[in-house]
Structure 1
Amino acid sequence: MKLGAFPVSLNVKDINKSKEFYENLGFKAFVGDITQNWLIMKNENSVIGLFQGMFEKNILTFNPGWNQNAENLDSFMDIRDLQKQLKEKGIKMLTEADETSEGPASFTIEDPDGNSILVDQHR
């Protein structure tokens, strides 16, 4: 099962302080809009998302169709197919992608320890 790019999405209290902290660890702003309280940062192949006031907890995120540089992959498994496979394995969906749609969609699941996992396809 290919899940695509893997950033960790962090719920931060002060996006400016968090940006500065991660810059000190060698991360650089990659995409996003700090004035809208979100920023994606990169250090080589490590990707983190900083999000202020957008969700309660940190989230593991997978982006089918993208590589770690947010570039489109020629071939990838559509999110609706991933969702069907997970359902067949008994994974409970917290939110679901509309299986009759095409293009961008997302679903959310939770691991056994309560960690949120967002699978978010942008194309």
Structure 2
Amino acid sequence: MSIGCFSVSLAVKDLSASKVFYEKLGFSAFGGDESHGYLIMKNGDTNIGLFQGMFESNILTFNPGWDQSAQSVGAFSDVRELHVKYKAEGLEVTQESIEGDSGPGSFSVTDPDGNKILIDQHV
């Protein structure tokens, strides 16, 4: 069971300063929109999301249905399937936004150390 593209979503104080910093580390803007307060930075297969004013802490993010370049993959584990599986395994879902039988949806869980994990399907 694959949970898709992995990235670290960073809550940043100054999007422009963070962009310049990560560019110096070899990342380049891959997606997002600075005017909407976020950028997706890429270096090879490594993705970092920079988000200003959207959430309070850093989040580990997985995108079912996408590869590391945000391209759709063939068969994948749908967010609904993952949601049911994780709840059945006893994980507490702390946020969910899932409607219908297919398409976009998301939910979050928190690991034992308080790290937030977002399962965020866009396809």
Q: Return the TM-score normalized by structure 1.
A: 0.96
Deviation of 1:99 (Å): 6.1
Shift in Å, 1:109: 0.4
Deviating beyond 6 angstroms after TM superposition, the runs of 4 or more aligned structure 1 residues are: none
Structure 2 letter corresponding to 1:4: G
Alignment partner of 1:60: what SS? strand
Would the aligned equivalents of 1:79 and 1:97 in 2 still touch at CA under 8 Å? no
Q: Residue 108 of structure 2: SS of its match in structure 1?
A: strand
CA distance in 1: counterparts of 2:34 and 2:98, whole angstroms: 30
Q: Distance in 1 between matches of 2:20 and 2:60?
A: 22
| Identical-residue share of aligned pairs (%) | 55
Moved more, 109-118 or 90-99: 90-99
Instruction: Give, as a single letter, the amino acid of the residue that structure 1 aligns with 2:5.
Output: A
For residues 82-110 of structure 1, what are the alpha-carbon distances to aligned partners after superposition, in whole Å with 9 as ceiling and x for unaligned? 11111111001001243644210000100
* Cα displacement (A) at 1:24: 0.2
Given that 1:80 and 1:97 are in contact with CA atoms closer than 8 Å, whether structure 2 keeps it comes out as no
In structure 1, stretches of 5+ residues that fail to align are none
Distance in 1, Cα, partners of 2:82 & 2:3: 8
How far apart, in 1, do the equivalents of 2:59 and 2:122 lie?
17
Aligned Cα RMSD in Å? 1.1
Q: Which blocks of at least 5 consecutive residues in structure 2 are unaligned? A: none
Structure 2 counterpart of 1:114: 114
Matched, 1:104 2:84: no
Q: Secondary structure at the match of 2:93?
A: coil
Aligned length: 123
